[in-house]
Structure 1
Amino acid sequence: MGHREDLLEGAKRCLLEKGFVRTTARDIVKASGTNLASIGYHYGSKDELLAQAYVALVEGVSDDFDAPEQAPSRTEPGSLERFQEVWSNIIATMQGPDSMWRLSMEIVVMGDQLPAVRDHLAKAQREGARGILPMFMGGEESDVSDEEVDTLGMLYMTLMTGLIAQWMFDPETAPRADQLTEGLRRLMNAATRSS
Protein backbone atom coordinates (compact mmCIF):
# COMPACT_ATOMS: atom_id res chain seq x y z
CA MET A 1 0.00 0.00 0.00
CA GLY A 2 1.18 3.54 -0.74
CA HIS A 3 0.87 6.62 1.45
CA ARG A 4 -2.50 7.57 -0.10
CA GLU A 5 -4.08 4.22 0.85
CA ASP A 6 -2.32 4.15 4.23
CA LEU A 7 -3.72 7.60 5.03
CA LEU A 8 -7.23 6.55 4.05
CA GLU A 9 -7.07 3.42 6.24
CA GLY A 10 -5.60 5.39 9.14
CA ALA A 11 -8.30 8.05 8.78
CA LYS A 12 -11.03 5.38 8.82
CA ARG A 13 -9.64 3.93 12.06
CA CYS A 14 -9.44 7.40 13.62
CA LEU A 15 -13.00 8.25 12.61
CA LEU A 16 -14.32 5.10 14.26
CA GLU A 17 -12.29 5.72 17.42
CA LYS A 18 -12.58 9.51 17.78
CA GLY A 19 -15.09 10.92 15.30
CA PHE A 20 -14.58 13.90 13.01
CA VAL A 21 -14.05 16.72 15.47
CA ARG A 22 -11.61 14.96 17.80
CA THR A 23 -9.44 13.47 15.03
CA THR A 24 -6.30 15.50 14.39
CA ALA A 25 -3.90 15.31 11.48
CA ARG A 26 -1.32 13.92 13.90
CA ASP A 27 -3.73 11.15 14.89
CA ILE A 28 -4.09 10.16 11.24
CA VAL A 29 -0.33 10.24 10.68
CA LYS A 30 0.24 8.05 13.73
CA ALA A 31 -2.48 5.57 12.69
CA SER A 32 -1.21 5.42 9.10
CA GLY A 33 2.55 5.42 9.64
CA THR A 34 2.94 8.30 7.18
CA ASN A 35 3.82 11.99 7.61
CA LEU A 36 1.93 15.27 7.84
CA ALA A 37 2.97 16.45 4.38
CA SER A 38 1.35 13.35 2.85
CA ILE A 39 -2.11 14.52 3.88
CA GLY A 40 -1.84 17.77 1.93
CA TYR A 41 -0.12 16.12 -1.00
CA HIS A 42 -2.64 13.30 -1.46
CA TYR A 43 -5.89 14.83 -0.17
CA GLY A 44 -5.44 18.60 0.03
CA SER A 45 -6.56 18.80 3.67
CA LYS A 46 -7.35 16.75 6.72
CA ASP A 47 -11.06 17.47 6.30
CA GLU A 48 -11.06 16.24 2.70
CA LEU A 49 -9.26 13.07 3.80
CA LEU A 50 -11.78 12.51 6.61
CA ALA A 51 -14.68 13.06 4.21
CA GLN A 52 -13.30 10.49 1.78
CA ALA A 53 -12.63 8.08 4.65
CA TYR A 54 -16.23 8.45 5.81
CA VAL A 55 -17.57 7.76 2.30
CA ALA A 56 -15.35 4.66 2.14
CA LEU A 57 -16.74 3.48 5.48
CA VAL A 58 -20.31 3.97 4.26
CA GLU A 59 -19.58 2.11 1.03
CA GLY A 60 -18.12 -0.77 3.02
CA VAL A 61 -21.09 -1.01 5.33
CA SER A 62 -23.61 -0.65 2.50
CA ASP A 63 -22.59 -4.10 1.25
CA ASP A 64 -24.39 -5.42 4.36
CA PHE A 65 -27.64 -3.62 3.47
CA ASP A 66 -28.70 -6.08 0.81
CA ALA A 67 -29.48 -9.69 1.63
CA PRO A 68 -26.52 -12.03 1.42
CA GLU A 69 -26.07 -13.71 -1.96
CA GLN A 70 -26.00 -17.15 -0.34
CA ALA A 71 -29.48 -16.73 1.16
CA PRO A 72 -31.79 -19.58 0.12
CA SER A 73 -34.46 -17.23 -1.22
CA ARG A 74 -34.53 -13.60 -2.19
CA THR A 75 -37.48 -11.31 -1.71
CA GLU A 76 -39.16 -9.67 -4.67
CA PRO A 77 -37.66 -6.24 -5.51
CA GLY A 78 -40.09 -3.44 -4.69
CA SER A 79 -42.14 -5.63 -2.34
CA LEU A 80 -42.95 -5.01 1.30
CA GLU A 81 -40.92 -8.12 2.08
CA ARG A 82 -37.86 -6.57 0.40
CA PHE A 83 -38.51 -3.29 2.23
CA GLN A 84 -38.47 -5.14 5.56
CA GLU A 85 -35.47 -7.28 4.65
CA VAL A 86 -33.29 -4.35 3.61
CA TRP A 87 -34.25 -2.22 6.63
CA SER A 88 -33.53 -5.20 8.87
CA ASN A 89 -30.05 -5.46 7.34
CA ILE A 90 -29.48 -1.71 7.69
CA ILE A 91 -30.58 -1.76 11.33
CA ALA A 92 -28.16 -4.62 12.01
CA THR A 93 -25.28 -2.29 11.02
CA MET A 94 -26.45 0.22 13.65
CA GLN A 95 -26.53 -2.13 16.60
CA GLY A 96 -22.83 -2.68 17.24
CA PRO A 97 -20.96 -0.63 19.81
CA ASP A 98 -18.60 0.55 17.07
CA SER A 99 -21.35 1.57 14.65
CA MET A 100 -20.02 4.16 12.23
CA TRP A 101 -23.44 5.78 11.94
CA ARG A 102 -22.70 8.03 14.92
CA LEU A 103 -20.39 9.86 12.50
CA SER A 104 -23.43 10.77 10.42
CA MET A 105 -25.07 12.36 13.42
CA GLU A 106 -21.85 14.19 14.25
CA ILE A 107 -21.98 15.82 10.81
CA VAL A 108 -25.65 16.74 11.22
CA VAL A 109 -25.05 18.30 14.63
CA MET A 110 -21.66 19.89 13.98
CA GLY A 111 -21.84 20.47 10.23
CA ASP A 112 -21.21 24.20 10.52
CA GLN A 113 -17.90 23.41 12.27
CA LEU A 114 -16.96 20.92 9.54
CA PRO A 115 -17.82 22.85 6.36
CA ALA A 116 -15.42 21.00 4.05
CA VAL A 117 -16.63 17.63 5.31
CA ARG A 118 -20.27 18.70 5.15
CA ASP A 119 -19.93 20.03 1.59
CA HIS A 120 -18.18 16.88 0.36
CA LEU A 121 -20.77 14.62 1.97
CA ALA A 122 -23.71 16.68 0.72
CA LYS A 123 -22.52 15.87 -2.80
CA ALA A 124 -22.01 12.21 -1.88
CA GLN A 125 -25.55 12.00 -0.47
CA ARG A 126 -27.04 12.20 -3.96
CA GLU A 127 -24.96 9.22 -5.03
CA GLY A 128 -26.02 7.45 -1.84
CA ALA A 129 -29.62 7.90 -2.93
CA ARG A 130 -28.72 6.41 -6.31
CA GLY A 131 -26.98 3.48 -4.62
CA ILE A 132 -29.73 2.64 -2.16
CA LEU A 133 -32.49 2.32 -4.76
CA PRO A 134 -31.40 -1.02 -6.27
CA MET A 135 -31.30 -2.54 -2.79
CA PHE A 136 -35.02 -1.93 -2.44
CA MET A 137 -36.18 -1.90 -6.04
CA GLY A 138 -33.75 -4.25 -7.81
CA GLY A 139 -31.81 -3.45 -10.95
CA GLU A 140 -28.44 -1.79 -11.32
CA GLU A 141 -27.25 1.50 -9.88
CA SER A 142 -26.16 2.65 -13.34
CA ASP A 143 -29.77 2.33 -14.57
CA VAL A 144 -31.28 4.58 -11.88
CA SER A 145 -32.57 7.82 -13.41
CA ASP A 146 -32.02 11.26 -11.92
CA GLU A 147 -35.78 11.55 -11.41
CA GLU A 148 -35.78 8.35 -9.33
CA VAL A 149 -32.83 9.66 -7.30
CA ASP A 150 -34.63 12.95 -6.65
CA THR A 151 -37.85 11.29 -5.52
CA LEU A 152 -37.74 7.73 -4.23
CA GLY A 153 -33.99 7.83 -3.56
CA MET A 154 -34.33 10.96 -1.43
CA LEU A 155 -37.28 9.41 0.41
CA TYR A 156 -35.13 6.43 1.38
CA MET A 157 -32.24 8.69 2.38
CA THR A 158 -34.58 10.74 4.58
CA LEU A 159 -35.86 7.56 6.22
CA MET A 160 -32.25 6.45 6.71
CA THR A 161 -31.22 9.70 8.38
CA GLY A 162 -34.19 9.59 10.74
CA LEU A 163 -33.58 5.95 11.54
CA ILE A 164 -29.91 6.59 12.29
CA ALA A 165 -30.87 9.46 14.60
CA GLN A 166 -33.37 7.31 16.48
CA TRP A 167 -30.93 4.41 16.87
CA MET A 168 -28.13 6.70 18.06
CA PHE A 169 -30.45 8.49 20.49
CA ASP A 170 -32.11 5.43 22.05
CA PRO A 171 -31.71 1.94 20.55
CA GLU A 172 -34.29 0.55 22.97
CA THR A 173 -37.14 2.60 21.47
CA ALA A 174 -35.86 2.89 17.88
CA PRO A 175 -38.10 1.27 15.27
CA ARG A 176 -37.51 -2.26 14.02
CA ALA A 177 -37.82 -3.25 10.38
CA ASP A 178 -41.18 -4.93 10.95
CA GLN A 179 -42.55 -1.74 12.52
CA LEU A 180 -41.35 0.35 9.58
CA THR A 181 -42.93 -2.13 7.19
CA GLU A 182 -46.25 -2.10 9.02
CA GLY A 183 -46.18 1.71 9.03
CA LEU A 184 -45.63 1.70 5.27
CA ARG A 185 -48.42 -0.84 4.80
CA ARG A 186 -50.84 1.39 6.76
CA LEU A 187 -49.75 4.47 4.82
CA MET A 188 -50.33 2.67 1.52
CA ASN A 189 -53.78 1.50 2.68
CA ALA A 190 -54.74 5.02 3.74
CA ALA A 191 -53.53 6.49 0.44
CA THR A 192 -55.49 3.88 -1.51
CA ARG A 193 -58.70 4.59 0.42
CA SER A 194 -58.45 8.35 -0.10
CA SER A 195 -57.87 8.19 -3.86
Structure 2
Amino acid sequence: MGHREDLLEGAKRCLLTKGFVRTTARDLVKESGTNLASIGYHYGSKDALLVEAFVALVEKAGDGFDDAPATESEAKGGSLERFEQVWANVLRDFPQSRSIWMLTFEVITQGERLAGVRDLLVKAQREGRSGLAAAFTGIAESDLPDDVVETEGRFHTTLLNGLMVQWLFDPQSATTAEQLTEGMRRVMGRMSQE
Protein backbone atom coordinates (compact mmCIF):
# COMPACT_ATOMS: atom_id res chain seq x y z
CA MET A 1 0.00 0.00 0.00
CA GLY A 2 1.04 3.59 -0.58
CA HIS A 3 0.78 6.49 1.84
CA ARG A 4 -2.74 7.39 0.61
CA GLU A 5 -4.11 3.93 1.40
CA ASP A 6 -2.12 3.70 4.64
CA LEU A 7 -3.58 7.00 5.79
CA LEU A 8 -7.12 5.90 4.94
CA GLU A 9 -6.77 2.62 6.83
CA GLY A 10 -5.14 4.39 9.79
CA ALA A 11 -7.92 6.98 9.80
CA LYS A 12 -10.55 4.23 9.92
CA ARG A 13 -8.87 2.68 12.94
CA CYS A 14 -8.55 6.07 14.67
CA LEU A 15 -12.20 6.89 14.06
CA LEU A 16 -13.33 3.58 15.53
CA THR A 17 -11.18 3.95 18.63
CA LYS A 18 -11.06 7.72 19.21
CA GLY A 19 -13.88 9.23 17.16
CA PHE A 20 -13.78 12.47 15.18
CA VAL A 21 -13.28 14.97 17.97
CA ARG A 22 -10.36 13.24 19.67
CA THR A 23 -8.46 12.12 16.55
CA THR A 24 -5.48 14.35 15.86
CA ALA A 25 -3.22 14.57 12.82
CA ARG A 26 -0.46 13.05 14.95
CA ASP A 27 -2.73 10.10 15.77
CA LEU A 28 -3.29 9.56 12.06
CA VAL A 29 0.43 9.66 11.31
CA LYS A 30 1.22 7.26 14.13
CA GLU A 31 -1.55 4.82 13.18
CA SER A 32 -0.72 4.88 9.46
CA GLY A 33 3.08 4.92 9.68
CA THR A 34 3.22 7.93 7.36
CA ASN A 35 4.06 11.61 7.95
CA LEU A 36 2.16 14.85 8.50
CA ALA A 37 2.88 16.15 5.00
CA SER A 38 1.18 13.09 3.50
CA ILE A 39 -2.18 14.11 4.94
CA GLY A 40 -2.17 17.44 3.12
CA TYR A 41 -0.66 16.00 -0.04
CA HIS A 42 -3.15 13.13 -0.42
CA TYR A 43 -6.31 14.51 1.22
CA GLY A 44 -5.92 18.26 1.57
CA SER A 45 -6.71 18.26 5.28
CA LYS A 46 -7.17 16.05 8.31
CA ASP A 47 -10.93 16.65 8.15
CA ALA A 48 -11.14 15.56 4.51
CA LEU A 49 -9.22 12.38 5.34
CA LEU A 50 -11.49 11.62 8.30
CA VAL A 51 -14.60 12.19 6.20
CA GLU A 52 -13.36 9.85 3.48
CA ALA A 53 -12.55 7.23 6.11
CA PHE A 54 -15.96 7.68 7.76
CA VAL A 55 -17.79 7.35 4.44
CA ALA A 56 -15.80 4.18 3.67
CA LEU A 57 -16.75 2.72 7.06
CA VAL A 58 -20.43 3.53 6.55
CA GLU A 59 -20.38 2.08 3.03
CA LYS A 60 -18.82 -1.13 4.34
CA ALA A 61 -21.44 -1.32 7.09
CA GLY A 62 -24.15 -0.89 4.45
CA ASP A 63 -22.82 -3.62 2.15
CA GLY A 64 -25.02 -6.28 3.74
CA PHE A 65 -28.23 -4.23 3.71
CA ASP A 66 -29.26 -5.58 0.33
CA ASP A 67 -28.35 -9.26 0.76
CA ALA A 68 -30.12 -11.61 -1.62
CA PRO A 69 -33.78 -11.99 -0.66
CA ALA A 70 -34.94 -15.42 0.47
CA THR A 71 -37.82 -15.71 -2.02
CA GLU A 72 -38.73 -14.32 -5.41
CA SER A 73 -41.51 -12.17 -3.95
CA GLU A 74 -38.98 -10.50 -1.64
CA ALA A 75 -36.86 -9.65 -4.67
CA LYS A 76 -39.56 -7.34 -6.01
CA GLY A 77 -38.37 -3.81 -5.41
CA GLY A 78 -40.80 -1.69 -3.44
CA SER A 79 -42.70 -4.62 -1.92
CA LEU A 80 -43.42 -4.86 1.79
CA GLU A 81 -41.53 -8.16 1.79
CA ARG A 82 -38.41 -6.44 0.45
CA PHE A 83 -38.95 -3.57 2.93
CA GLU A 84 -38.96 -6.07 5.80
CA GLN A 85 -36.00 -8.07 4.44
CA VAL A 86 -33.78 -5.02 3.99
CA TRP A 87 -34.63 -3.71 7.49
CA ALA A 88 -33.96 -7.19 8.91
CA ASN A 89 -30.54 -7.07 7.22
CA VAL A 90 -29.85 -3.60 8.60
CA LEU A 91 -30.78 -4.63 12.13
CA ARG A 92 -28.87 -7.91 11.85
CA ASP A 93 -25.69 -5.95 11.14
CA PHE A 94 -26.13 -3.35 13.89
CA PRO A 95 -24.18 -5.27 16.57
CA GLN A 96 -21.09 -5.65 14.36
CA SER A 97 -21.34 -2.03 13.24
CA ARG A 98 -22.04 -0.49 16.66
CA SER A 99 -18.82 1.55 16.66
CA ILE A 100 -19.74 3.04 13.27
CA TRP A 101 -23.21 4.00 14.50
CA MET A 102 -21.68 5.52 17.64
CA LEU A 103 -19.38 7.51 15.38
CA THR A 104 -22.39 8.67 13.36
CA PHE A 105 -24.08 9.74 16.57
CA GLU A 106 -20.93 11.67 17.55
CA VAL A 107 -21.06 13.54 14.25
CA ILE A 108 -24.73 14.39 14.80
CA THR A 109 -24.33 15.53 18.40
CA GLN A 110 -20.99 17.30 17.94
CA GLY A 111 -21.89 18.99 14.66
CA GLU A 112 -21.05 22.48 15.88
CA ARG A 113 -17.57 21.41 16.98
CA LEU A 114 -17.04 19.57 13.69
CA ALA A 115 -18.14 22.33 11.31
CA GLY A 116 -15.61 21.43 8.58
CA VAL A 117 -16.37 17.74 8.89
CA ARG A 118 -20.09 18.41 8.91
CA ASP A 119 -19.93 20.42 5.70
CA LEU A 120 -18.04 17.62 3.95
CA LEU A 121 -20.47 14.98 5.23
CA VAL A 122 -23.50 16.94 4.07
CA LYS A 123 -22.16 16.52 0.54
CA ALA A 124 -21.71 12.78 1.11
CA GLN A 125 -25.30 12.30 2.35
CA ARG A 126 -26.65 12.01 -1.18
CA GLU A 127 -24.56 8.88 -1.68
CA GLY A 128 -26.09 7.39 1.45
CA ARG A 129 -29.61 8.19 0.27
CA SER A 130 -28.78 6.67 -3.10
CA GLY A 131 -27.48 3.44 -1.55
CA LEU A 132 -30.56 3.04 0.63
CA ALA A 133 -32.94 3.79 -2.23
CA ALA A 134 -31.17 1.16 -4.36
CA ALA A 135 -31.45 -1.45 -1.59
CA PHE A 136 -35.18 -0.94 -1.14
CA THR A 137 -36.18 -0.49 -4.78
CA GLY A 138 -33.92 -3.11 -6.33
CA ILE A 139 -32.77 -0.52 -8.90
CA ALA A 140 -29.03 -0.21 -9.50
CA GLU A 141 -27.66 3.02 -7.98
CA SER A 142 -26.42 4.17 -11.37
CA ASP A 143 -29.97 3.86 -12.77
CA LEU A 144 -31.83 5.57 -9.92
CA PRO A 145 -33.75 8.67 -10.98
CA ASP A 146 -32.99 11.75 -8.89
CA ASP A 147 -36.57 11.96 -7.63
CA VAL A 148 -36.30 8.44 -6.14
CA VAL A 149 -33.06 9.34 -4.34
CA GLU A 150 -34.52 12.61 -3.06
CA THR A 151 -37.80 11.12 -1.85
CA GLU A 152 -37.47 7.41 -1.07
CA GLY A 153 -33.79 7.75 -0.18
CA ARG A 154 -34.60 10.51 2.29
CA PHE A 155 -37.49 8.48 3.74
CA HIS A 156 -35.28 5.45 4.40
CA THR A 157 -32.46 7.61 5.75
CA THR A 158 -34.89 9.08 8.26
CA LEU A 159 -35.99 5.61 9.34
CA LEU A 160 -32.38 4.44 9.57
CA ASN A 161 -31.42 7.36 11.80
CA GLY A 162 -34.37 6.68 14.10
CA LEU A 163 -33.55 2.98 14.33
CA MET A 164 -29.90 3.79 14.99
CA VAL A 165 -30.84 5.98 17.96
CA GLN A 166 -33.25 3.37 19.34
CA TRP A 167 -30.74 0.57 18.91
CA LEU A 168 -27.85 2.51 20.49
CA PHE A 169 -30.05 3.47 23.44
CA ASP A 170 -31.50 0.02 24.11
CA PRO A 171 -31.14 -2.79 21.54
CA GLN A 172 -33.63 -4.98 23.44
CA SER A 173 -36.51 -2.53 23.03
CA ALA A 174 -35.59 -1.16 19.58
CA THR A 175 -38.12 -1.52 16.78
CA THR A 176 -37.79 -4.77 14.83
CA ALA A 177 -38.06 -5.21 11.06
CA GLU A 178 -41.40 -6.95 11.59
CA GLN A 179 -42.76 -4.09 13.71
CA LEU A 180 -41.54 -1.51 11.22
CA THR A 181 -43.16 -3.40 8.35
CA GLU A 182 -46.45 -3.85 10.19
CA GLY A 183 -46.44 -0.14 11.00
CA MET A 184 -45.86 0.65 7.32
CA ARG A 185 -48.64 -1.76 6.31
CA ARG A 186 -51.10 -0.08 8.71
CA VAL A 187 -50.15 3.44 7.65
CA MET A 188 -50.58 2.49 3.99
CA GLY A 189 -53.89 0.82 4.80
CA ARG A 190 -55.24 3.95 6.50
CA MET A 191 -54.16 6.09 3.58
CA SER A 192 -55.89 3.85 1.08
CA GLN A 193 -59.16 4.14 3.05
CA GLU A 194 -59.30 7.91 2.51
What band does the TM-score fall into relative to the shorter chain?
A: over 0.9
Letter in 2 for 1:131: G
- For residue 78 of structure 2, give the secondary structure of its aligned residue in structure 1: coil
The alpha-carbon deviation at position 8 of structure 1 amounts to 0.3
8 Å CA contact retained: 2:107, 2:118:
yes
| 2:25 aligned with 1:25 | yes
- Relative to the length of structure 2, the TM-score reads 0.93
Give the aligned partner of residue 83 of structure 2.
83
- Can you list the C-alpha shifts for 1:157-182, whole angstroms capped at 9, x where unaligned? 11111111111122121111111111
8 Å CA contact retained: 1:93, 1:99:
no
Equivalence map 1:1-195=2 (5 Å): 1-68=1-68, 73-74=71-72, 75=74, 76-96=76-96, 98-194=98-194
**Aligned equivalents of 1:103 and 1:28: distance in 2?**
17
**Aligned equivalents of 2:98 and 2:105: distance in 1?**
14
**Aligned equivalents of 2:97 and 2:86: distance in 1?**
21
- Relative to the length of structure 1, the TM-score reads 0.93
The runs of at least 4 consecutive aligned structure 1 residues that moved more than 6 Å come to: none
Moved more, 89-98 or 13-22: 89-98
Q: Gapped runs of 5+ residues in structure 2? A: none
**Aligned equivalents of 2:71 and 2:178: distance in 1?**
19
Q: Gapped runs of 5+ residues in structure 1? A: none
Moved more, 89-98 or 11-20: 89-98
**Aligned equivalents of 1:73 and 1:28: distance in 2?**
45
Letter in 1 for 2:62: S
How many residue pairs were aligned? Answer: 192
Q: 1:45 to 1:133 in 2, by over 3 A?
A: same
**Aligned equivalents of 1:104 and 1:59: distance in 2?**
12
- For residue 91 of structure 1, give the secondary structure of its aligned residue in structure 2: helix
The alpha-carbon deviation at position 97 of structure 1 amounts to 7.1
Letter in 2 for 1:73: T
Moved more, 121-130 or 48-57: 121-130
- For residue 99 of structure 1, give the secondary structure of its aligned residue in structure 2: helix
The alpha-carbon deviation at position 96 of structure 1 amounts to 3.1
The alpha-carbon deviation at position 130 of structure 1 amounts to 1.3
- Can you list the C-alpha shifts for 1:51-85, whole angstroms capped at 9, x where unaligned? 010001111111111114xx663512211111111
8 Å CA contact retained: 2:61, 2:97:
no
- Can you list the C-alpha shifts for 1:77-131, whole angstroms capped at 9, x where unaligned? 2111111111111112212375311111111100111111111111111121112
**Aligned equivalents of 1:152 and 1:66: distance in 2?**
15
> Aligned Cα RMSD in Å?
1.5
- For residue 78 of structure 1, give the secondary structure of its aligned residue in structure 2: coil
**Aligned equivalents of 1:44 and 1:11: distance in 2?**
14
